[in-house]
Structure 1
Amino acid sequence: MEELGEVKKIRKKIGMTQTELANRAGVSQSLIAKIESGRIDPTYTKTRKIFAALSELEKKEEVNAGQLMTSRIVSVSPGMPIKEAIAKMKKFQISQLPVMDRSKLIGLVSESSILDALLKSKATIVKEIMQESPPIVSKTTSIQVVSNLLKHYPIVVVSEEGKLIGLITKSDLLGKMYKS
């Protein structure tokens, strides 16, 4: 169980008053005040109620993939010329594009893969330079999971019932964290 000294910090982070927390936990406001000031050692049962209420409220406040994602999806087809993919990236100011074949995600093309291809090969179409598909998550996936995936992939795809509904980049994640 968490430390009693954390009650005030967690409550403030959630933006809740002592009275609101007391009502949620089924205890008195004066008990919350005494716990936060360190003047009382509450019973285990009351402590459990308080932390259960805080935990429930924190989960409601948690940001998920559905809140982070960009729903405007700019993609390319596997047969598209690399020059057109570059033009799309410039036009929409993005650094990676999902490769879609008949509404199915089959890969990813990024500035890096294009640069490598232009320097090392004679590739002319997206299919010849695309990377493996990025990870796919549901819109309820937590920000922590998305953040960990973005450490290893340039983009995360959000899907619902097998349909691509959004994309998340490091830029989207940083933008959300900066606003918080």
Structure 2
Amino acid sequence: MTYELEEIKKIRKKLGLTQTELANRAGVSQSLIAKIESSRIDPTYTKTKKIFAALSDLERKEEIKAEQLMAGRIISIAPNASIKEAISKMKKSQISQLPVIEEHKLVGLVSESTILDALLKSKGKEVREIMQEAPPIVSKTTSVQVVSSLLKHYPMVVVAEEGKLVGLITKSDLLGKLYGG
């Protein structure tokens, strides 16, 4: 990320750092930070680069990751389960979609919409006959920006670690964590 010298104080305060803490992380003196923030000095390129690198690194660490957004409890359904069973699970758990898992692998997604479409068309008796393609899988360290972009195109995102599904993120989860707690 690129910064302007005038932004250092604002960014430092946003990150909850003192001048001394930023100076220590950047490998410069606290007095240099103070002079830059008060526009009393025009620092060298090398010193500026160190300060900006420290700020950038700290901002990345502050960024919200998929692990913080995900619901850890995965309620899923098998592809050979009946549509009636899927409806029952959704109703009982108060959710609108279920990942379809076969032999520990994500193979699809079934939602209220797909069930309604199937019932209106009298199509299918098993989940496998009506399921949609599997939603995208991300790692625990995927940024909130990537998750948000994916949720614009998919109803849910699945979080995996070392090939094992560990959580789900829906639009509702994302909005709840970011804006509602």
| TM band (smaller chain) | over 0.9
Question: Which amino acid letter does the alignment assign opposite residue 156 of structure 2?
Answer: I
Unaligned runs of 5+ in 1: none
1:41 alignment counterpart: 42
- What SS is found at the alignment partner of 1:7? helix
Question: Which amino acid letter does the alignment assign opposite residue 38 of structure 1?
Answer: S
1:28 and 2:17 correspond: no
1:67 alignment counterpart: 68
Shift of 1:28: 2.1
1:114 and 2:115 correspond: yes
Shift of 1:36: 2.1
Unaligned runs of 5+ in 2: none
CA distance in 2, matches of 1:10, 1:62: 14
- What SS is found at the alignment partner of 1:80? coil
Question: Which amino acid letter does the alignment assign opposite residue 23 of structure 2?
Answer: A
1:158 alignment counterpart: 159
Question: Which amino acid letter does the alignment assign opposite residue 37 of structure 2?
Answer: E
* TM-score, normalised relative to structure 2: 0.92
1:142 alignment counterpart: 143
1:131 alignment counterpart: 132
- What SS is found at the alignment partner of 1:5? helix
| Structure 1 segments (4+ residues) deviating >3 Å | none
Identity %: 77
* TM-score, normalised relative to structure 1: 0.92
- What SS is found at the alignment partner of 1:168? strand
Shift of 1:179: 5.8
Question: Which amino acid letter does the alignment assign opposite residue 78 of structure 1?
Answer: P
Provide the aligned length of Structure 1 versus Structure 2. 180
Question: Which amino acid letter does the alignment assign opposite residue 176 of structure 2?
Answer: G
